[in-house]
Amino acid sequence: MERSTAHGVGATRLSRPFGRTRGARTLLLATAGFLAAFSLPAPRAFAQDGEDGASSSVPTTALMLLEGGATAGQGATVSIGLRRGLAEVAGIRFVHPVDVLSPPPFSEDLQMSIEELEPLADQVRDGDARDASDRADRLIEAFEANLESVRREQLIDAYMLAAVSRCRSRRTRECEALMERVVVFREGHTYDATRYPAAFEDVFDRVRSRVTSGARATLTVTTEPEGAEIYVDGRSYGPSPARVSGLLVGDHYVTIKHLGFDRTIRRAALAAGGSTVRYALAPNERSRLISSPEAQSGLRRELGEPRAGDSLRSLGNVVGAAQVLLGVVSPVDADAVHVQLWLYDVRTRFLLASREGSLSIDEAGMETARQLAVELYRGVSLDGSIAGPVDGGGGAPSERPAELWEQWWFWTAIGVVAVAAGVGIGVGTTVGDSQVPGGWTRLEGTLP
């Protein structure tokens, strides 16, 4: 890398002329900066897990690299199985790259709608149903228009408030119709008598019993391109095209995740005889940070090394993961693939574990991938350390060496340079007072 160097004299116009003590002032400011440099702690490269109180789990991500003609659908099959296994590992929290790289749009109006849920619930619970149903209907409209930005619990809450507000107004048929909507896409939902009027709990229970014993059908989800991970009502059903059978007839919510494309959430209507829906995915430019051929080539070169390189660390930093599970998927035949897995800790850079195996591209293969993930984490330290070489009485876990900027002397040197620069500017300013026009300051020095 080239470094440009500048030498010479510069003159900077100030708002008002300095007095004769300006050099002393500059020297004083430089000294203050020097003291501040010593008083500030060195920055940390990574925040500690749970320090904000939100979670003590270790964020972990997974990414499959496809080789030898492996398809996106095959990679998705492996990924889904691995995530099932990771869900069984205590102390880690899975971070899906597509979720991180597809931040949902969020407006002030939507935030106000979300905040309106609490006062509306108070109004309905207290028996004031004058305009509650209209307010709840507006919230439903706002949430349905922003499915990527609201949690499913918030959408359910809006529907339930719209329902019970109608029950209070003795609009029983409308009340039950809205409750049916909730039960169709969330069969296990239970009535919360602490949030909604307890008087209508029996109504909800009757609706749920009637709806869950009703007609069911199959929803087929296809995407362009194929191989995207399909979720219906929050449950994973494998790569597209996906056939989801046994769903209650009515409206459901389909979530689609495919690396390289925006996360998509849509409401899908399921008819009694079954329905097919097709979605075209929108490219996501942010995902090129990890999905471009250049990025994945860099990752592939580093796999198997005892220490994570820049590409692996960049992946972890981009998705906010402390540990990264990388896999290489290559086809064995039309119905099976071979998988090589490596687990790295981004904080310590250590290769923590590796596994490999072959699996079929079906539900049984997902189960094999689940077992591989569980085995991969067996004996792994979640703090990213590894067992050091045994010497006599044994070895302690190894930790990464401190970075240059984490050394105490690095910041001392920075402080000394800052003082030297401040003194140089101060002396140059004082000495040069008589050689520049009034109202101007003479600055001399060498720029690094």
Average pLDDT over residues 332-338: 94
Whether 434 shows a pLDDT value over 60: the answer reads no
Give, in order, the Cα–Cα distances in Å from 187 to each of 62, 126, 156, 234, 382: 30, 28, 12, 12, 36
Decide which of 120 and 390 is more confident. 120
Whether 112 shows a pLDDT value over 60: the answer reads yes
389-394 long-range Cβ contacts below 8 angstroms, 24+ apart: none
Whether 38 shows a pLDDT value over 90: the answer reads no
**Start-to-end CA span in the chain (Å):** 14
* Rounded Cα gap, residues 271 and 307, in angstroms: 53
Whether 32 shows a pLDDT value over 60: the answer reads no
Q: What is the pLDDT of residue 63?
A: 95
Decide which of 215 and 38 is more confident. 215
Band (pLDDT 50/70/90 cuts) for residue 71 is very high
Closest residue by Cα to residue 322 from 340, 349, 302, 299: 349
DSSP 8-class letter at 105: P
Q: What is the pLDDT of residue 425?
A: 52
Whether 202 shows a pLDDT value over 50: the answer reads yes
Band (pLDDT 50/70/90 cuts) for residue 47 is very low
Report the CATH superfamily, name and number, of domain 58-94+288-386: TolB, N-terminal domain (3.40.50.10070)
Q: What is the pLDDT of residue 105?
A: 81
What is residue 30's three-state secondary structure?
A: helix
Q: What is the pLDDT of residue 327?
A: 96
Q: Which of 96-105, 123-132, 245-254, 258-267 has the lowest mean pLDDT?
A: 123-132
pLDDT tens-digit series, residues 127-169: 777 789 999 999 999 999 999 999 999 999 999 999 999 999 9
CATH node for 216-283: 2.60.40.1120
Band (pLDDT 50/70/90 cuts) for residue 411 is low
Average pLDDT over residues 38-65: 55
Decide which of 95 and 52 is more confident. 95
pLDDT tens-digit series, residues 253-284: 999 999 999 999 999 999 999 999 999 999 99
Domain limits, the chain = 6-42+407-447, 58-94+288-386, 108-212, 216-283
* Rounded Cα gap, residues 96 and 259, in angstroms: 10
Decide which of 53 and 98 is more confident. 98
* Rounded Cα gap, residues 380 and 352, in angstroms: 7
Task: Extract the tokens encoding 360.
Answer: 């079929």
Band (pLDDT 50/70/90 cuts) for residue 385 is confident
Task: Decide: 266 and 282 in contact? Cβ < 8 Å.
Answer: no
Alpha helices in 116-151 (DSSP H): 117-125, 132-144
